[in-house]
Structure 1
Amino acid sequence: MEMSARQPRPPEPKPDGLAANCDGLPSRNGDPAEITVSLSHPGKRVSPIEGSNLYRLRDRKFLLEDKRRLCAWALGAAMLGILLMIGHAELCPAVYQPGSIYAISINGLISFSTGCLLILIIAFHYKDIRLFIIDHNQVDWRIAMTTNRVLGISLELLVCAVHPVASYLGPDVGVQVPVLKWNSSVTPICLCQSHRETWLEIELLLSGLMFLRLYLVHRAILLHSKVLLSASYRSIGSLNNINFTFRFVLKVLMNKYPARTLLVFIMLFWLSAAWMLRLCERQAEVETGDMGTALWLIAITFLTVGYGDVSPCTSCGKVVCLFTGVMGVACTAMLVAVVTKKLALNKGEKHVHFFMMDIQISKEIRNAAANVLRECWLLHRTTQAKNNNGEHRHHQRCLLEAIRVFRHLRLKQRKLRDYTSEMVDLSKMQMIMCDLSANWNNSYRELEQRIISMEQKLDELGQSFQSTSQLLSQALHRRRLDHR
C-alpha cells in the first residue's frame, strides 16, 4: 500500500483495458490497484514539506521498532551461543567423547548461532544507518559511514564472531579419546586428543571471549527502557540537550532501583567469573576446578577478604581473580554509597528529629540549671554552718560539676540550633530568591505597561497638537478674510 499526503483526486477517464474497481481506482487485468490515502484532515491542504515530514516520522517509528526487534533477537542468539558453549564444556567428555557426532553437532549449532548473530548485527546497523539518514535529511548513505562507525561495526562483528572452534579444527579431529579416570572430581576440558597445549589455550581463550557478547545487554536495556520510549522524556531531554545513552539509563536505574540493580549485577558477575575460573583451573586438576570452590574463591576475592585457603594455579585463573578483585572494589564502594543513601534522613525526618532533640536538650538544660541552684543553696547552707569542711568541699565540687554540665548542654543546644537554622536558611533563601524573581518580573511587566501607556499618551498629545494647529490656522485664515 502506498500512502500519500496529497488530496484524493476524482477518477480520471480511463483508456481501454482499464477497469474501475469499487473505490473508483483504476486496475488493469485484475491487478491490485494503487490506493491513495490522505494523511491530513479532509478539506485541509497539506504542503509538500509537511507531507515529507509525515513520511519521515512514520519511517522513523518503523525503524525504531525494527531496531528493538533486531536487538532482542541478537541478544537471544548471543545467549544461545553462550549456553551451548557452557553445555558443551560441561558435558564433554563426561557424557560424550570429543570428536563424536554429539560434539560436532553442538559445535555446529554454536557456529550456526554465531552466523545468525552476525547477520542480525549487520541488519541492526543497516537500520541504524537508515535512521541516521532520516534524522539528518541526507540522501547518500555513504555520508553516514564515518570512520568511527566503520571501526565500531568492524569491532562488534569481530567480537561476535569469536567462538571456540579449536575442538573440531585442531589436529586429530574425529579421533575417539579413551575415557580418562582422574583422581579429582573435576572434568578436563573438551578437546580432541592432541599433544599440543596451543589448542587448549586457544579453546580457553575463545570460550572466555564469548562472554564479550553480553555487551548486547546494555543495548537491549537502552532500546527497551521506558526512558527512551516515553515521548515526555525525549521532549524534555531534547530541550535540555541530554543524550539518551546507556549511561543516562543506568543513572536512572541506580536512582530508582539501586539495591536491585547492584544485586542482579553482582550475582551474574559471580556466576560468570566462577565458571570462567573453573574452566581455566580444571585443566590443571586442582581443587579450584570444582564449581563450588571456584564460586567461594570468586566471592572472597570480590569482597577483598582473601582467607588464603584456596588460590588460583593457572595464569588464566589469576587474571580472572585479578579482574574480580578490581570489580569488587568498585561494586563495594557503590554498595556503601547506596546503603548510606538509604540510611540517611530526608528533610522531613531531619526536621522532626532535630525538633525532638531540641526539646530533650531544653529539658536537660532546665534540670542542669535546677541542679546548679540546688548546689548553690547546699553550699551556702554548709558555709553558714561552718562545722564540716569535707562536706563544704564536696558541695563545691558538685557545684562546679553542675555548672560544667549546664555549659555543655547550652553549647550542644547552640550547635544544634545553628545546624537547624542553616538548613532552614537554605530553604528560606531559595523561597526569598523565588519571590524576588517573581517581584522583578511583575515590576518589569508593570514598567512595560506604563511605557506603552506613555507612548499612547504622547501619540494622543501629538495628534491633539496637530488638530490644534489646524484649528488655529483655520481661525487665522477666517479672521483675515473678515478684515478684508
Structure 2
Amino acid sequence: MPFPSRGDISGGTGEAEVGSLVCALEMERSSRSLRDDSKLDYDVINRNCGVSAEVSMPQTLSGKRHVEGDNLHRLRDRKFLIEDKKRLCALALSTALLGILLMIIHAEICSYVIEGSKVSLIINCSISLSTGCLLILIAVFHYKDIRLFIIDHNQVDWRIAMTSHRVLVIILELLVCIIHPVGSYWDVAHHVNSSSTAPVCVSGHHTKALLDMDILLSVLMFLRLYLVHRAILLHSKVLLSASYRSIGSLNNINFSFRFVLKVLMNKHPARTLLVFIVLFWLTVSWMLTLCERRSQASTGHMDTALWLIAITFLTVGYGDVSPNTSCGKAVCLFTGVMV
C-alpha cells in the first residue's frame, strides 16, 4: 500500500499535524525495511521528524542467528547421543546374553567332562571377559546419559546430573552385571594343590557351600535380562515418533517402559503375552533343573521341570512332582508369585 506524501495531506490539517503524521509514516516505512533486512537512513528520518537523539541499530539478526546456531548444535548433539545410547544398549544386551549362554553351556557340560577342566576354565574365562566388557558398556552408557541430561537441561557442570538416585542406579547395575560363576577358578586352585592327574568339573571337588554358591551365582546371572526393557524402550517407535513425543510433552507423560508396554499390549496383546510367557517358562524351567540336578531328583530333568513350572504358573498344582532343594523351592515360589 503506497504511503501518502506531504503534499497530499497538507490541505486539510495544520503544519504540525502534517509533520507528525509524515514522521509516523516514515518510521513505519523504516520498520518495514528493517524486517526486509534492508539498510536504513536514520539521519533523513531524524531530520524529517525533528529527532535529535541517535537511533540505535537493533542487534536482533546476529543475536537470532547465534541462538539458532546454538539450538541446532544442541539438537544435533542430542540426536547423536540418542543414537549412541541405542547402540550401546544393543551391545550391552548382546554381551549379557552371550555371558548367560556361556554359563548355560558351562553348566550343561559339567557332568560330562572327565579330563576337561581346561575346557571348563576356558568357558569360565570367556564368561569373565564378557562380564568385563558388559561393565564397560554400562559405564559408557551412563556417561552418554549424563551428557544427554546436560544438553536437555542446558547445564554446564556434569556434577549437577549426579543425583543420589542416579548414583544408586549406576552402582546397582554394576553389581548386578558383575555377578557370574567362578567355580572353575576354585577347581584350578584345588587341582594345583592336589595329586589328582584327571581333574573333573567343578562339582566334583568342592564342598556343599561352594557348590551352592556357584549355583546361586549362575541363577543370579539372569538378572542381566533387565537390559531387555531398556532395549525395548530405546528402540520403540513410541519414543522415536515425533507425534508421540509432542502429545507426551503437552500432557506431561513420561515415556517409561511401563508406558511402552501398555502401547504394545494395546497393539499386539496376543503376541506380547505369548513371547513373555514362553521366555519366562523356558528360563525358569532351566533354573529349576540347575537347582535340582545335584539332588538326583526327577525335577533335575528339563521335561519334568517344564511340567512343574507350567502347573505352578497356572495355579493347578497336581502335586505329582515337587522340588527337593531350597533353591528349587525358591524358584517355584517365584513362579507362583509372578502369576
Q: TM-score, normalised by structure 1?
A: 0.55
How far off is 1:47 after superposition? 2.5
The Cα shift of 1:155 comes to 0.4
Q: 1:169 to 1:308 in 2, by over 3 A?
A: same
Asked whether the equivalents of residues 273 and 298 of structure 1 are also in contact (C-alpha less than 8 Å), the reply is yes
Counterparts in 2 of 1:228 and 1:96: CA distance versus 1, 3 Å: farther
Distance across 1 between alignment mates of 2:270 and 2:199? 47
* Pairs within 5 Å for 1:36-55: 46-55=64-73
Structure 2 spans left out of the alignment, 5+ residues = 1-60
Pick aligned residue for 1:150 from 167, 171, 174: 167
Alpha-carbon deviation of 1:177?
Answer: 8.4
Aligned equivalents of 2:108, 2:203: Cα separation in 1: 15
Which residue in the other structure is 1:327 paired with? 338
Output the CA distance in 2 between the equivalents of 1:200 and 1:324: 23
**Residue matched to 2:262:** 251
- Shift in CA distance, 51/132, structure 1 to aligned 2, threshold 3 Å: same
Structure 2 length as normaliser, TM-score?
0.78
- Report deviation, 1:327: 1.4
The aligned amino acid for 1:67 is K
Counting only pairs closer than 5 Å after superposition, residues 171-186 of structure 1 correspond to structure 2 as: 172-173=190-191
Q: Quick check: 1:108 aligned with 2:125?
A: yes
CA offsets per residue over residues 222-279 of structure 1, 9 Å max, x none? Answer: 0000000111110111011101110100000111111111111111011011100000
Indicate the structure (1 or 2) with the bigger Cα radius of gyration: 1
Q: 1:96 to 1:80 in 2, by over 3 A?
A: farther
Going from structure 1 to structure 2, the CA distance change for 1:212 and 1:130 (only over 3 Å counts) comes to same
Deviation of 1:307 after TM superposition, in Å, equals 1.0
Say whether residues 1:312 and 2:323 are aligned partners: yes
SS at the partner of 1:268? helix
1:280 pairs, out of 291, 300, 314, with: 291
How far 1:210 moved relative to its partner? Answer: 0.1
Aligned to 1:301: 312
1:388-467 matched pairs, under 5 angstroms: none
Structure 1 residues 106 and 292: alpha-carbon distance in aligned structure 2, compared to 1, 3 A threshold: same
Q: How far does residue 194 in structure 1 lie from its aligned partner after superposition? A: 2.9
Secondary structure at the counterpart of residue 338 of structure 2: helix
Tell me the CA shift for residue 193 of structure 1: 3.7
Report the alpha carbon displacement of residue 96 of structure 1 after superposing the two structures with TM.
5.0
Alignment correspondent of 2:222: 211
In structure 2, what is the Cα distance between the partners aligned to 1:125 and 1:179? 43
2:285 & 2:305 partners in 1: Cα distance? Answer: 5
1:108-133 deviations in Å (ceiling 9; x for gaps): 10000000000000000000000000
Correspondence for 1:167 among 181, 184, 190? 184
State the alpha-carbon separation in 1 of the partners of residues 123 and 206 from structure 2. 24
Matched, 1:134 2:151: yes
State the match for 1:263 in structure 2.
274
RMSD: 1.8
Deviation at residue 216 of structure 1 after TM alignment? 0.1
Q: Distance in 1 between matches of 2:102 and 2:206?
A: 26
Q: Which residue matches 1:31?
A: none
Q: Partner residue of 2:78?
A: 60
Taking the aligned partners of 1:94 and 1:195, their CA distance within structure 2 comes to 17
Give 1:191 shift: 1.8
Distance in structure 1 (CA, Å) of the matches to 2:68 and 2:320: 72
CA deviation profile, 1:13-61 (whole Å, cap 9, x unmatched) = xxxxxxxxxxxxxxxxxxxxxxxxxxxxxxx865222111111000000
One-letter code of the match for 1:220? A
| CA shift digits 1:344-388 (9 cap, x unpaired) | xxxxxxxxxxxxxxxxxxxxxxxxxxxxxxxxxxxxxxxxxxxxx
The separation in 2 between residues aligned to 1:257 and 1:286, in whole angstroms, is: 40
Corresponding residue number in structure 2 for 1:454:
none
Query: How many angstroms apart in 2 are the aligned matches of 1:290 and 1:178?
Result: 27
How far is the alpha carbon of 1:192 from its aligned partner?
Answer: 5.0
Tell me the percent identity: 71
